[in-house]
Amino acid sequence: METRPRARSFEDLIVWQKAHAFVLETYIFTRGFPNDERFGLTSQLRRAAVSIAANMAEGFKKKGKADKARFSTLPKAPPRSVVTI
């Protein structure tokens, strides 16, 4: 198994990079939605996507194991909300 250098910021985390790419793709995808969905479905999808990466970034600097664990499990909820839409 390959050993990776320790992440110095949340931006070094591969999982955050993938979450960020998901945000960008979500914004591109939702551009094609009808204007009457701008404050409904479009907004909900975008906020759910952004919250994944944001929670990872916020949890990265947490010191305690309990805090880190809580923030690492939070990002699991938004994708479910995206899937159910």
56: its two tokens: 């990872």
Architecture of domain 13-84: Up-down Bundle (1.20)
Which alpha helices (DSSP H) does 6-84 contain, by range? 14-30, 41-60, 65-73, 77-84
* 52-73 pLDDT per residue, tens: 888 888 888 877 777 666 655 6
pLDDT in tens, 4-50: 788 888 888 888 999 999 999 999 999 999 999 888 999 999 999 99
Q: What is the DSSP letter of 76?
A: G
* Cα 13 to Cα 20: distance, rounded to the nearest angstrom: 11
Question: Where in the chain are the domains?
Answer: 13-84
